[in-house]
């Protein structure tokens, strides 16, 4: 059985959104009754709530800087259903031209990064790239992660090194083509170098989920 960790959420939210604006590296705290909901001038309230709920479902208080639920306590079947509902809502916003700013495109990409279809993840890559074009440099890691995830879903090697899989009880990054993208280019996409990835993988295998973070902090 193969189980996928959602580093895009854990790492990017913390490191670059940050994308993810989440503190996935922290131990779970007593769960608050509801997530932190800020007012962001460049994000419409409906989309903001969608992305906050996306992270909350995964045990992250996105703007509170806390992991409030342990991954092994989550009901992934129920989350997958709500993910589909969130995707439909974002598709409607896109069709209506209601997603306009770089931050909005980044948040939309984060929601589609969790899609269970190749087309949805491809859209996540497009939306994250659009966020970069619109001036949100913090979407770089997400664009790389979406491409890696799409490649792995298609049984092709990831290129940047952002995805972790559990196969037969062992964490791995395979399939992974480590030679195509040099570390100098990874850095431009806010992805940590190969040496740091190997340390992250070792941490995962040692049971330390914080090791999944492959995003460069404060990357621009």
Q: Which pLDDT belongs to residue 208?
A: 82
Q: Provide the pLDDT for residue 52.
A: 97
Which sequence spans correspond to the domains of the chain? 2-212
The pLDDT value given to residue 32: 61
Alpha-helical segments (H) within 20-67 = 45-57
- Which pLDDT score is estimated for 193? 97
What pLDDT, on a 0 to 100 scale, did the predictor assign at position 33?
A: 78
Backbone angles phi, psi at 219, to 5 degrees: -75, 140
Query: In what helix (H) or strand (E) does residue 133 lie, and over which residues does it extend?
Result: helix 118-133
> Distance (Å, rounded) from C-alpha 51 to C-alpha 86?
8
Instruction: Please give the Cα distance from 218 to 137 (Å, whole number).
Output: 10
Tell me: cis bond preceding 175? Omega within 30 of 0 counts: yes
**Is residue 193 left, alpha or beta, with left meaning phi > 0 and alpha meaning psi from -120 to 50?**
beta
* C-beta separation of 153 from 165 below 8 A: no
| Contact predicate 20/190, CB 8 Å | no
> Can you give the pLDDT at residue 20?
39
Residue 42: φ, ψ to 5°: -105, 15
102 Cβ neighbours under 8 A, 6+ residues apart: 42, 131, 132, 133, 134, 135, 136, 139
CA–CA distance, 102 with 42 (Å, rounded to integer): 8
- Digits of tens for pLDDT over the chain (220 positions)? 333 444 333 333 333 333 333 333 344 445 567 899 999 999 999 999 999 999 999 999 999 988 888 777 889 999 999 999 999 999 999 999 999 999 999 999 999 999 999 999 999 999 999 999 999 999 999 999 999 999 999 999 999 999 999 899 899 999 999 999 999 999 999 999 999 999 999 999 998 876 678 999 888 7
């Amino acid at each position: 059985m193969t189980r996928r960790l959602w580093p895009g959420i854990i790492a990017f939210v913390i490191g670059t959104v940050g994308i993810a604006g989440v503190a996935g590296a922290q131990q779970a705290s007593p769960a608050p009754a509801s997530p932190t909901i800020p007012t962001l001038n460049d994000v419409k309230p409906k989309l903001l709530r969608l992305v906050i709920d996306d992270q909350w479902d995964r045990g992250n208080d996105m703007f509170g800087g806390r992991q409030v639920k342990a991954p092994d306590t989550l009901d992934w079947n129920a989350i997958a259903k709500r993910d589909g509902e969130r995707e439909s809502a974002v598709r409607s916003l896109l069709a209506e031209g209601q997603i306009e700013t770089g931050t909005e495109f980044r948040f939309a990409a984060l929601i589609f990064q969790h899609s269970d279809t190749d087309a949805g993840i491809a859209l996540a890559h497009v939306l994250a790239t659009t966020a970069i074009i619109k001036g949100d440099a913090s979407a770089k890691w997400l664009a790389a992660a979406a491409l890696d995830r799409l490649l792995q879903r298609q049984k092709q090697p990831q290129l940047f090194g952002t995805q972790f899989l559990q196969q037969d009880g062992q964490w791995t990054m395979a399939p992974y083509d480590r030679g195509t993208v040099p570390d100098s280019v990874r850095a431009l996409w806010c992805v940590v170098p190969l040496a740091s990835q190997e340390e992250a993988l070792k941490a995962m295998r040692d049971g330390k989920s914080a090791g999944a973070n492959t995003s460069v902090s404060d990357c621009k």
